A and B are shown apart, each in its own frame.
Chain A
């Protein structure tokens, strides 16, 4: 993937010791930058694949029961798409896999694996991650997890169909796809654990001389907190996955209560289990997971916004404290996903209170970023477009979490499209836009070429409009009471009343899909024809810009020493409007 034109110059750096072959250098590499790019490319591919599943599902939602054009023809003889129509099984399978792929195979690998790997060592002034081989192992574990998940599509019964949340007993009694899903998850969990331990150790141990914790770029802080969330929150899901695997393979009843009757037949198990136990274990991971998705994005946006306003970050320390507090709090809000499980007053009061408390640091973070704009000299570069768009999108996503976090209003809104709208605003126009900002921003560093401005702006504006076209009507549907995960919502009168929004949303989704072509074309064409990038094309201050472009193996030509904070822009009395961290 790294066929950058500077390959030959790169080779010079390695003269004097043995030359690595292509395979060792680009496939089984232990260089954090290569691994970061591997993560990013794989993550982007999975994001596109996961979105494609949704584009097919959206056909069924817009035109229920009609054959899918083109794709329907290819599969019209299959059981799950007979006649080219999306069956309920296929709809559930795609729904479960869309969620799984977007979260565990798309966003996390790109945000933490990709950006974390590529940027953390560069920004802390380290030559590589603390454990380069472990780093490669974590990528390959992710890769295997991804292959396992893809393999499940070819099973006779199809992939997992019980939602990305895999609630038992449904998931316990589901087909083989669920077992494969669980096995895939174990690989993905292992990958995340190894990766995040590596990031934490790198940040704690390998910071350059002079780079104190409060001189670290905010992105490094965000990755640091994210990694702690992964290290501590993923193991309970691993425990839950083991329990569910035992239920499915060894016939245990951890999540199966006594006296179940499935399709008229008593289920032959010992019973005595508890289905809600899974939900506790799952959400104990999955709520911190939300912050795993959003914090690296927030870090990227901060870097881009500060660089493009040409002034220091407003409230750097406040933001750091907020993000640490946010991380800690995220471990005690999980049961706000479970208000409808027959929860008593004490529990619900506790969890709605912690949920309201956790909204405060989010409001602080957003406010700091917006206030940073004040008094700046805003450059409307390509990455800045995406970073600025992130702010209102994340605001909508965050604010709509409030009525869901209050148990009383959640009674009506729970499991409706309101929820879908809420978290998609956080992760799609939120996190994904931030990730695009990051790609446009660091692409020149990684490849030595700038991305094309015109294609980039087309990508931005079409994506921005169409993505809102998908998710904004979800709030209307949620108000109308349309439940999520319905294969044919139109059979309900209250859903039929808002069916026209479904058509609008689906068309928006297909436009969004098409708009990504601008990105794909831009990505590849710029590799060859993009304007050559200097070492520091954005006049930025942080350490990654002190390396040659693209950075060689080992990163820095000499060990960097840091003399100042991360965002010294427009310091009065200086000729340049920025002072890099390594300048004394």
Chain B
């Protein structure tokens, strides 16, 4: 399941369309930081050696005025302004406001709870079934309203997130109990799931494979174990998986609750 070879002492590989700019920003900032630090450091060490107390050496009370610090300061300001306006504003704005068309995307709902990730797919009808906290039970963790016709074909999974590669995914994040944070390192996706709020996010993966979902916000004593699995499938694999899920839902033995809760589906 795991592919440990891709992880190391650096950013994991980026498998999402929007992730490149995040990585780029991180790298640019670190180049700037290292340059500034090394500059400071060299000056610092030079001073420590050259101006150490020793016989015959005296401190100077008045130094000739230098404009250099001021220029450096202005350079820092300009750089930060450029990064803000040129990279961070537009990238954030694109991610948060320019959502892809719902019709062109895989639409899902992610409902976090202590300590699992529930995923709801709208099924072939493309409509999410109504959910209601009152309907929540062990076999129905997201409280799907079974009287709603749109619910009938909805797939819900536990800690299993499947979606096709090279197609945008729009996910609506919410939480049943406390604040969680949905984090997929290889996709550069992170968003808090906050009870009482429905927060939409989107991403587009450009690489297939099996990866992990982690919780990035302390959510209780099971915080560590709140691990989910992502499967980025080829369109064909995704269709196979999707159809299989439908088959499990549809053959109509009237007791859907008979499916054991330990299975990733219900």
Smallest CB gap from A356: residue in B: B80
Known: A264-B138, A376-B59, A416-B216. A353 touches B224 (CB 8 A): no
Give A408 to B30 CA distance when docked, in angstroms.
Answer: 14
Prevailing SS type, chain B contact patch: mixed
Interface string of B1-21 (1 = CB under 8 A from A): 011100111111000000101
> Within the complex, what minimum Cβ distance (angstroms) separates B63 from chain A?
5
Q: Interface-forming stretch among B162-170, B182-190, B235-243, B252-260?
A: B182-190
Known: A258-B196, A276-B194, A392-B41. A491 touches B225 (CB 8 A): yes
Is A33's beta carbon under 8 Å from chain B?
no
Known: A88-B221, A409-B29. A373 touches B136 (CB 8 A): no
Is B91's beta carbon under 8 Å from chain A?
yes
Set of chain A residues within 8 Å of B190, measured between Cβ atoms:
340, 411-412, 414-415
Give A259 to B87 CA distance when docked, in angstroms.
Answer: 39
Task: Verify B83–A481 contact, CB threshold 8 A.
Answer: no
Set of chain B residues within 8 Å of A481, measured between Cβ atoms:
11-12, 183, 185, 214
Task: Verify B25–A415 contact, CB threshold 8 A.
Answer: no
Give A80 to B77 CA distance when docked, in angstroms.
Answer: 50
> Within the complex, what minimum Cβ distance (angstroms) separates A533 from chain B?
20
Tally the A-B contacts, defined by beta carbons under 8 Å.
295
Is A571's beta carbon under 8 Å from chain B?
yes
Give A258 to B134 CA distance when docked, in angstroms.
Answer: 11
Set of chain A residues within 8 Å of B36, measured between Cβ atoms:
395, 399
A456-511 contacts to B, CB under 8 A, are 476, 479-481, 483-489, 491-494, 496-498, 501
Known: A341-B194, A374-B51. A406 touches B221 (CB 8 A): no
Interface string of A151-177 (1 = CB under 8 A from B): 000000000011100011110010000
Number of interface residues of A (CB under 8 A): 103
Task: Verify A479–B138 contact, CB threshold 8 A.
Answer: no
Task: Verify B223–A92 contact, CB threshold 8 A.
Answer: yes
Is B220's beta carbon under 8 Å from chain A?
yes
Task: Verify A161–B59 contact, CB threshold 8 A.
Answer: no
Task: Verify B73–A480 contact, CB threshold 8 A.
Answer: no
Among A392, A409, A414, point to the contact of B88 (Cβ < 8 A). A409
Give A192 to B197 CA distance when docked, in angstroms.
Answer: 35
> Within the complex, what minimum Cβ distance (angstroms) separates A512 from chain B?
23
> Within the complex, what minimum Cβ distance (angstroms) separates B256 from chain A?
18
Among B11, B52, B183, B220, point to the contact of A378 (Cβ < 8 A). B52
Task: Verify A492–B179 contact, CB threshold 8 A.
Answer: no
Give A213 to B23 CA distance when docked, in angstroms.
Answer: 47
> Within the complex, what minimum Cβ distance (angstroms) separates A51 from chain B?
21
Set of chain B residues within 8 Å of A266, measured between Cβ atoms:
133-134, 136
Is B215's beta carbon under 8 Å from chain A?
yes
Smallest CB gap from B36: residue in A: A399
A378-411 contacts to B, CB under 8 A, are 378-380, 388, 391-392, 395-396, 399-400, 402-403, 406-409, 411
Task: Verify B37–A497 contact, CB threshold 8 A.
Answer: no
Among A162, A262, A352, A497, point to the contact of B84 (Cβ < 8 A). A352
Known: A391-B44, A407-B92. A377 touches B69 (CB 8 A): no
Set of chain B residues within 8 Å of A352, measured between Cβ atoms:
84, 88-89, 92
Among A261, A396, A402, point to the contact of B143 (Cβ < 8 A). A261
Among A342, A366, A497, point to the contact of B7 (Cβ < 8 A). A497
Is B93's beta carbon under 8 Å from chain A?
yes
Give A72 to B59 CA distance when docked, in angstroms.
Answer: 56
Is A45's beta carbon under 8 Å from chain B?
no
> Within the complex, what minimum Cβ distance (angstroms) separates A477 from chain B?
9
Among A87, A88, A378, A494, point to the contact of B223 (Cβ < 8 A). A88
Known: A88-B222, A167-B218. A345 touches B114 (CB 8 A): no
Smallest CB gap from A339: residue in B: B92
Give A484 to B217 CA distance when docked, in angstroms.
Answer: 8
Task: Verify B220–A170 contact, CB threshold 8 A.
Answer: yes
Known: A380-B52, A402-B33, A486-B223. A571 touches B4 (CB 8 A): no
Set of chain A residues within 8 Å of B80, measured between Cβ atoms:
356, 359-360, 402
Task: Verify A406–B197 contact, CB threshold 8 A.
Answer: no
Is B150's beta carbon under 8 Å from chain A?
no
Q: Interface-forming stretch among A140-148, A286-294, A306-314, A517-525?
A: A306-314
Known: A257-B195, A388-B48, A487-B224. A492 touches B214 (CB 8 A): yes
Is A572's beta carbon under 8 Å from chain B?
yes
> Within the complex, what minimum Cβ distance (angstroms) separates B160 from chain A?
17
Set of chain B residues within 8 Å of A406, measured between Cβ atoms:
25, 29, 83-84, 87-88
Set of chain A residues within 8 Å of B21, measured between Cβ atoms:
408
Smallest CB gap from A266: residue in B: B133
Task: Verify A309–B51 contact, CB threshold 8 A.
Answer: yes
Set of chain A residues within 8 Å of B185, measured between Cβ atoms:
412, 480-481, 494
Task: Verify A169–B177 contact, CB threshold 8 A.
Answer: yes
Set of chain B residues within 8 Å of A476, measured between Cβ atoms:
9-10
Is B212's beta carbon under 8 Å from chain A?
yes
Smallest CB gap from A415: residue in B: B216
Known: A400-B33, A577-B59. A169 touches B179 (CB 8 A): yes
> Within the complex, what minimum Cβ distance (angstroms) separates A21 from chain B?
47
Is B102's beta carbon under 8 Å from chain A?
no
Task: Verify A409–B25 contact, CB threshold 8 A.
Answer: yes
Interface string of A543-584 (1 = CB under 8 A from B): 000000000000000000000000001111000010000000
A-B residue pairs, 4 tightest by C-beta: A257-B196, A481-B185, A373-B47, A497-B7
- 11 further interface pairs, Cβ-Cβ under 8 Å (given A260-B177, A262-B177, A403-B30): A92-B218, A95-B218, A261-B113, A341-B192, A348-B96, A370-B44, A395-B37, A480-B10, A483-B183, A486-B223, A494-B12
Can you list 14 residue pairs at the A/B interface with Cβ under 8 Å? A170-B218, A173-B178, A261-B113, A275-B179, A309-B59, A310-B59, A356-B80, A363-B73, A373-B48, A378-B53, A391-B44, A480-B185, A496-B4, A496-B7
Enumerate chain A interface residues (CB-CB to B < 8 A): 87-89, 92, 95, 161-163, 167-170, 173, 256-264, 266-267, 273-276, 309-312, 314, 340-345, 348-349, 352-353, 356, 359-360, 363-364, 366-367, 370-371, 373-380, 388, 391-392, 395-396, 399-400, 402-403, 406-409, 411-416, 476, 479-481, 483-489, 491-494, 496-498, 501, 569-572, 577
